[in-house]
Amino acid sequence: MTDFLSSYKSAKASESLANSNSKGKNSFIEPVVLIRRITFGIAIATWMVMAIGSATRVMNAGLACPDWPLCYGSVLPAEQMNLQVFLEWFHRLVASTVGFATIVLFGASWYFRKYLPKWLPWATSGSLSLVIFQGILGGLTVTQLLRFDIVTAHLGTGLLFFSSLLATATALTNQASFVEDFRSSTKLAWLGLSAAILVYLQSILGALVASQWALHQCFATQDMCIVLNAHLLGVIPATLASIVLVVTVWLSKAIASVLRLVATIAGVLVITQVAIGYATYKLHLQVEPLTIAHQATGSALLGTLVCFAVLAFRAARQDQSPIQEQNQVQPAIR
């Protein structure tokens, strides 16, 4: 009887120890979830940086801090602080935070690489390279006195960095949560990617218009009208590709609800972007919030299309997996 009681107590002790260990493991977040949340957070902060950068340009605050990386030789230029200095200073502050957060993301992905997809550390390495290059371009933007090609490359690199973060985070989305309703086609995925590329190119044309003040010059002196007209014509393919994607998704019956939702968001953003762009053009960029909203909405549209493309490619790959398995089994049956 004593032996039985002792064995029972030891069994209960082992069970309680195992439960405590399992609770301890469950109390820590999974590496893939941690990386996904960090990546999404950095992507949101990057979108904010681009919006603040647009406000900085619209308010003519790009050179409000004449030196770089400090502002008037200090971290916080309290004596020189005004609206323009604050915009440029705050833009640099948030951008620096994004840069340091990307370094943390890079380190975490390599530290937990055994528990993550093999491609993830290399993807974060690419994102880190982009943000470093983006920082260099940001410094050159100031030291080269807002040279239009550097300003355009600065925004273009920022959009690439933003897209890479969203693509990485979307690829890490929990597939098991919607596996039963995850259907798509490869053609739909390529259509989403094509729309994203066209929107990105249109954003670059918009950056050229903004960095050279092409709209103002075209209306005032008939200069730079070629750049402005190129941006206006670029609206057509980017908008048509996005609309075709949305219509195709809604006409497809066998498609995942998450893809339908993302496509709907893209459709709303397209309509909003065209409306804001038309108003901005008609008002000759005189309403600063409209100009800022135009750039911010375009970035959001690009990010939405990137997310759609990644999700659609995952769906198409999942659809093809059962077919490939069936083709491998059939020769064995024969």
Return the structure tokens found at 76: 């916080």
**Cβ–Cβ < 8 Å for 67, 142:** yes
Say how far apart CA 239 and CA 228 lie, in whole Å.
17
Tell me the DSSP string of 172-207. TS-GGGGGGG----HHHHHHHHHHHHHHHHHHHHHH
3-state helix, strand, coil in the chain (%, to 5): 80, 0, 15
Which DSSP symbol is given to 68?
A: S
pLDDT in tens, the chain (334 residues): 444 445 444 444 444 444 444 443 444 579 999 999 999 999 999 999 999 999 998 888 989 999 998 999 999 999 999 999 999 999 999 999 999 999 999 999 999 999 999 999 999 999 999 999 999 999 999 999 899 999 999 999 999 999 999 999 999 987 544 444 556 678 889 999 999 999 999 999 999 998 888 888 888 888 888 988 999 999 999 999 999 999 999 998 878 888 999 999 999 999 999 999 999 888 877 788 999 999 999 999 999 999 999 999 988 877 554 444 444 444 444 4
74: helix, coil or strand?
strand
Q: What is the pLDDT of residues 117-142, one digit of tens each?
A: 999 999 999 999 999 999 999 999 99
d(C-alpha 303, C-alpha 170), whole Å: 11
Phi, psi of 223 (to 5 degrees): -90, 155
